[in-house]
C-alpha cells in the first residue's frame, strides 16, 4: 500500500481527513472476502439464516441443475 499512500497523499494534499478515509476504505477492501471464495459444494448445503460474509441466505430461489 506504500505506492498508493504516496499517490493518495499527493491527491489529498491539505485534506488529512479525506486521506485517512480513503486509506481506511482500501484497508477494508484488501481484507474483505468474496462470496466467490466459498466452495460451490459448501454453498449447495447452505440453509436459510446462514451467512456468507456480509450476505445472509434468506430462502432458496429454485432447484435443479447439475449435482456436484
The answer, yes or no, to whether residue 13 has pLDDT greater than 70, is: yes
**Angle at alpha carbon of residue 33, lines to 10 and 61, rounded to 5°:** 130
> What is the band of 7 on the pLDDT scale with cuts at 50, 70, 90?
confident
pLDDT at residue 18 in the model: 92
Stronger pLDDT, 64 or 11, i.e. the higher one: 11
pTM: 0.42
Work out the average pLDDT over 12-20: 89
Please count the residues of the chain: 68
**Helices and strands counted in the chain (H then E):** 3, 2
Phi–psi pair at 39, nearest 5 degrees: -60, 140
pLDDT at residue 5 in the model: 61
Amino acid at each position: 500500500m506504500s505506492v498508493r499512500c504516496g499517490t493518495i497523499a499527493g491527491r489529498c494534499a491539505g485534506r488529512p481527513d479525506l486521506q485517512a478515509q480513503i486509506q481506511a476504505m482500501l484497508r477494508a477492501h484488501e481484507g474483505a472476502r468474496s462470496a466467490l471464495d466459498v466452495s460451490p459444494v459448501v454453498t449447495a448445503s447452505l440453509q436459510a439464516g446462514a451467512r456468507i460474509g456480509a450476505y445472509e441466505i434468506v430462502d432458496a430461489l429454485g432447484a435443479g441443475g447439475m449435482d456436484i
